Amino acid sequence: MNDILPDATPRWQYLEAVTRTVLAAYGYREIRVPILEKTELFARSIGEVTDIVEKEMYSFEDRNGDSLTLRPEATAGMVRAGLSNGLLYNQVQRWWSAGPMFRHERPQKGRYRQFHQIDVEAYGLPGPDIDAELIVMLARLWKCLGIRQVELRINTLGSPEARASYRDKLAAFLRGHARQLDEDSCRRLDSNPLRVLDSKHPETRKLVEQAPNLLDHLDDGSREHFAALQVLLDNAGVSYVVNPRLVRGLDYYSRTVFEWVTTRLGAQDAVCSGGRYDGLVAQLGGKPMPAIGFAMGVERLVALMEEEGVPVPDTAPHAYLVRVGALAERAGLQLAEQLRETLPQLRLIMDCSGGGFANQLKRADKSGARVALVLGEDEAKIRQVGFKLLRNTTEQVNVPWDTAAARLAPWLE
Ligand code: ATP
Ligand code: MG
């Protein structure tokens, strides 16, 4: 679990701000849900035989003996919230949510035990047009963020019935080659053979290449849905690769699944994954309602932006106020407030550490500010302030307080 330090947060804030703007442009509204849910919610939604539920959840008993879990993902909690507030019946909802998720995984670059996601979900829309719009929206988001090196992979998992019959064929094939399977995949043979397609184990991957193809076992409805999605993406000019082995780590998906991957981050290459989960709302006790959504991994996107050299907006102070002497200290607080009042976007640090002019000017320089405002006893008495540029060698000039804001304005970008 990482501390995200003040030097790192500007990049996070930039990502979050751009994402909010893009999501708003498509009509998505924010929902905030608890970080703790009942353990059974995740067992019922994500699936008992998944890495997450089998071995990655932070679960504990509370004082009443109820089993609670720190959320490992956001979708289950959002559906739970929608159902318990009567918002997922006979209506369309477009929601997003952001925050920390918890999985007890083996920590490594790009894989942490507390990590952050931005989740986007659309409820009540069965057609491929919303699938396409979500993907197109992501393409726009990458563009707005300055991210270029991502690639889209799509697949369809078909209907639950088609998948069940494919599952049997796949299990039979894998059982015939059980010796080539890694330990985890062997264990999944009976319980969840589709997950074997997702194995990262080289031997297993080789075997999977020859396994029966899910796309050959689709039901007609899913086939048409997938074809229509591809036409919409083609029309929108979004390029993609159909990857028939793309499955998701959670059980609730059906039909469309997709993933954005990058080659710039090493092994943890997925920055955004999602798909359709038409069965989940009913599975959690609601009336059947189609749904589709995705989650972005914020740590990985932040790392990718850094890799690609996306510039971060400047957060250094514009100005630094130096105060020397008792009168100047009192007057300085007044002057600072007057400037902040006139220039709401001004980032001004007032020196509160004391010391003489030289010390305070050193701190002004270190702060990254472009301008030092220098207030000594003489200036304070006549309500003037010294205006000194820190990034070149021009002389300090004294100006009256009520013109200081106008003088500062050009230095606010
Ligand atoms: P992966 O295959 O990398 O384990 P996943 O299939 O478990 O990903 P999801 O559960 O769909 O991923 O989560 C969506 C996104 O959240 C991923 O694409 C990834 O960017 C990010 N993510 C998932 N697990 C972690 C983690 N432990 N640390 C950091 N980011 C993560
Ligand atoms: Mg995972």
Residue 293 neighbours by CB under 8 Å, 6+ apart: 75, 119, 120, 121, 122, 134, 274, 275, 277
- CA–centroid distance, residue 269 to ligand 1 (Å): 9
Q: Which ligand has the minimum distance to the alpha carbon of residue 101?
A: 1
Confidence (pLDDT) at 83: 98
Confidence (pLDDT) at 249: 63
CATH superfamily membership of 319-408 = Anticodon-binding domain (3.40.50.800)
* Residue from 115, 271, 292, 298 whose mutation best tests the ligand 1 pocket (most atoms within 8 A of CB): 115
Residue closest to 332 by CA, chosen among 313, 356, 351, 306 = 351
* pLDDT averaged per 10 residues in sequence order, the chain, 413 residues: 96 98 98 98 88 92 97 97 97 98 96 98 97 98 97 94 89 92 86 85 91 92 97 98 84 90 94 95 95 98 97 94 97 98 97 96 96 97 97 90 96 88
Among protein residues, the one whose CA lies closest to atom 19 of ligand 1: 297
- CA–centroid distance, residue 249 to ligand 2 (Å): 6
Question: What are the sequence ranges of the domains in the chain?
Answer: 9-159+219-307, 319-408
> What global pTM score does this model have?
0.93
Among protein residues, the one whose CA lies closest to atom 24 of ligand 1: 111
Residue closest to 139 by CA, chosen among 131, 126, 148 = 148
Atom of ligand 1 nearest to the CA of 260: 18
- CA–centroid distance, residue 60 to ligand 1 (Å): 23
Give the separation between CA 148 and CA 308, rounded to whole angstroms.
Answer: 8
Q: Which ligand has the minimum distance to the alpha carbon of residue 113?
A: 1
Long-range contacts of 16-21 (CB under 8 A, 24+ apart): 16/98, 16/118, 18/141, 18/144, 18/145, 19/118, 19/141, 19/145, 19/296, 21/144
Listing DSSP states for 218-262 in one string gives --HHHHHHHHHHHHHHHHHT---EE-TT---SSTT--SEEEEEE-
- The residue with tokens 């957060």 is 315
CATH 3.40.30.10 fits 9-159+219-307, yes or no: no
- CA–centroid distance, residue 248 to ligand 2 (Å): 9
* Residue from 273, 298, 299, 302 whose mutation best tests the ligand 1 pocket (most atoms within 8 A of CB): 273
- The residue with tokens 């849910």 is 37
Among protein residues, the one whose CA lies closest to atom 28 of ligand 1: 111
Enumerate the β-bridge partners of residue 121. Answer: 95, 293
Q: Report residues whose beta carbon is within 6 angstroms of any ligand 1 atom.
A: 73, 103, 105, 110-112, 115, 117, 249, 268, 270-273, 295, 297, 299-300
Residue 42 neighbours by CB under 8 Å, 6+ apart: 52, 53, 57, 69, 71, 72, 73, 76
- The residue with tokens 């035990």 is 113
